[in-house]
Every structure is written in structure tokens, then in C-alpha cells.
Amino acid sequence: MDKRTPRSWLNTLFLLGTLGMALVLVPWKLATQGLRWSEVAVFLVLYIATGLAITVGYHRLFSHRTYHAAWPMRLVLLLFGAAAFQNSAIAWSSDHRHHHRFVDDVEKDPYPVKRGFWYAHWLWVMEGGDRPLDGVADLEQDALIRWQHRYRFFIGAVVALLLPLTVGWATHNVGGQLIIGLLSRIVLTHHSTFLINSAAHWFGTQPYTDANSARDNALLAPLTFGEGYHNYHHMWQWDYRNGPRWYQFDPAKWIIAASSWMGLTWGLRRVPSTTIQRAKVAMEAKRLAGKLAEDAHHLRHALEAAHWRVDQALAALQTQLDAWHETRNAWKAKGHAKAEAWRAVRAEWRTQRSQLMADIQEARLEWNQARLRARQAMA
Ligand SMILES: [Zn+2]
Ligand SMILES: [Zn+2]
């Protein structure tokens, strides 16, 4: 057993007890009573609400401060977050910030996958108990977060029970609701979150960095409302998105963005697309160069040259975009954004930009050819 902290019997009993009961009661219930639509509905409402509260709230808002949220939104996230039964927002964030800071360090990462799949999945919770809160002074300033920490078990129990009991009472089916809407919901919420600490550090691809064990795994995204792109997330934890491309399934990012149109969220932080592309190309160049045989000097050289060209072209675009934002803000601040002179400036920037985009296009072509030749040489 770990020397840092004693075993938490409360966590162990809760995790094993809920799982054990679900494994016995759910099949028994399905076999003897079948499944009702009202049970499926309550299950889905609470699974989605608590899962989103963990992803949108505990993870992207409280742990990583990737955006700001108005108090009604924070309150809702804290209420449903408590019903996920994953401790308070502040305790969760304390652990999670350590996980990012010391990822893969078997001593300091609270859930290092280096200690095994199941350790990262849930054995760490059983071992953990209440670890001291650390690095969360910013969260302690928020009265709502302090309130949730203080009454986390009570709030969690009320929110988790309210809907199953009400619907169960109205449909004369309290027992069925407690098995499907409460018990199996808690177990599935737990394990889908746990999969991000285990499976998303074990199975999948590493498109942006191989400096840590985190992986992109699109299969995990639906279960956790967008958290499957974990390699991206460990590279840029301050981005409110986990899947930056429009087609990547990340409902949390859509909700955070949609909430900003209503004024509920603001200050959404995102990584520039050029930065993402540079990391991706660099990773691919590194991987290909590593695989090329020692004697393939000319291919390595061509690969490095092409990589350098793409990287420079992307960097040039980013510099231009940064400068453009500054210029635009300056014109706006002066209230000249509608003047004729401004239109001329803007037109010139646009011409410059299309030139830079054309450079990138050309560099990418060169890069693709170098990449193809390297792959052929390996085949
Ligand atoms: Zn991680
Ligand atoms: Zn994170």
C-alpha cells in the first residue's frame, strides 16, 4: 500500500458496494421486471447532467480555468457535480492539477498510469482518502465552491435522489428507479470518468506530444462528453476544447461556446490553429525520422528541410495574425473602425494573409512529398 496516504475505507466501500449491488440488482431487475421508459429517461437525464458537470465544470472550468462562468452556471455545475460522487470540485481540482503537473510521476501524480491500468482507473481512489488540498487557493476564494465542498455529500445525495424518487413515487416504481436511475447511473458515471485516467493514458494515438502517456481516443469522447482527446488536452490544458476540430465529438466545448452567446460564459481560451499544426507536424517529423534507417541520410535531410519550411510558414502566419489583432484593436479603440482609411489597411492585411496561406500550401506540398518518400523507404 502507498506510503503517502492510508487506505480510504469509505471510498473503497462506496466504489465496490455500488458496483457489486449494480452487478446483482440490474440483471435481476431486468429479468424479473424488464425496463421502463421512465427509468431510461431518469437514467439519461442524470447521466448527462452529472457527466457534463464533471467535464464542463469540475474539469474545464474549476481545474483548468479555461473560461469564466456566471454564478448561476457555476451553481448548476456544482450541484450536479456533487451528484457524480467524485468528491468536491475543490478536492477534484487539487488532485487533477497535480496529475497535470506531475503526469506519469509515480510519487507525485495522484493517478499515474505507470502504476498500472487499474491503479490509474480506481485503485488510487480507494487508496486516497482525503489528500491535502494544494494549489487551489484561487478556488477557495469562491463562496459557492466553499459551500459545495462543505456540504458535498448532502448536496450530492439530494440531487442524485430527487428525480428518481419523485418519478418513482409518481409511477409507483421507487424500487426500479433506485436501481436504474440512481445505482447504475452512479456506477456508469464513475467508470466513464475513470476511463480518462486509465484508458486515455493507455490506448490511442499521440499526435501532438510523446512526452507523456496521454492519448487521443475518439471512442472515449461520447462517454465523457468530449474528454477522449487526452493527448491534446495534456499538451494544452488551458484550452476550453479537448477536440479542437469541428468534427471531433466534444459537446462540452459546444456547450461552453453556446453559453458564451448568452453571456453565461466569457474569456474562452483557445490554442491558435497554427500552434496546433506546428506541434502535429513536428511530432510526425520526429516519428518518421526516428524510424528511417541510419543510412537514409538524404531522406532524413529532405524530411528535416520540409518540416522546417512548414514550421516557418505556420509561424509567419501566426506572427501576422497576432500583429493583425493588435492593429485591429488599436483602430477599434480609436473608434476609426468604419473609416475609409481603415478599409484600405484591412484590404492590405488580407492580401498579405492570402500570400502567407499560399506559402503554407506550398510548404505542405513539399512536406507531404518528403513524408511519402520516407514512408516508401521504410516499406
Ligand atoms: Zn491525464
Ligand atoms: Zn485536465
Task: Give the phi and the psi of residue 347 in degrees, each rounded to 5.
Answer: -60, -40
| 214 C-alpha to ligand 1 centroid (Å) | 6
Q: Grid coordinates in use for 50? A: 452529472
- Confidence band of 2 (pLDDT split at 50, 70, 90): very low
User: Cell 520526429 appears where?
Assistant: 286
Least confident of 83-97, 135-149, 292-306: 292-306
pTM of the shown model: 0.90
Q: How many angstroms does the Cα of residue 300 sit away from the middle of ligand 2?
A: 35
pLDDT digits (tens, 9 = 90+) for 177-192: 999 999 999 999 999 9
Q: How far is the CA of 242 from the centre of ligand 2 (A)?
A: 9
Query: Whole-angstrom Cα distance, residue 333 to residue 316?
Result: 26
- Which ligand is in closest contact with the Cα of 220? 1
Contact call for residues 364 and 284 (beta carbons, < 8 A): no
Q: Ligand 2 center to residue 93 CA distance, Å?
A: 9
Lowest mean pLDDT among 107-111, 130-134, 365-369: 130-134
Please give the full DSSP string across 252-312, using - where no structure is assigned: HHHHHHHHHHTTSEE------HHHHHHHHHHHHHHHHHHHS-TT-HHHHHHHHHHHHHHHH
Ligand nearest to the CA of 231: 1
User: To the nearest whole number, what is the mean pLDDT of the chain?
Assistant: 93
| Cα of 65 from ligand 2 centre, angstroms | 10
Share of the chain above pLDDT 70, in %: 97
Q: Given pLDDT bands bounded at 50, 70 and 90, which one contains residue 1?
A: very low
Between residues 334 and 319, which one has the greater pLDDT?
319
Closest ligand by atom to 201 CA: 1
Tens of pLDDT along 18-32? Answer: 999 999 999 999 999
Span 221-280, pLDDT tens digits: 999 999 999 999 999 999 999 999 999 999 999 999 999 999 999 999 999 999 999 999
Distance 92 CA to ligand 1 centre (A): 13
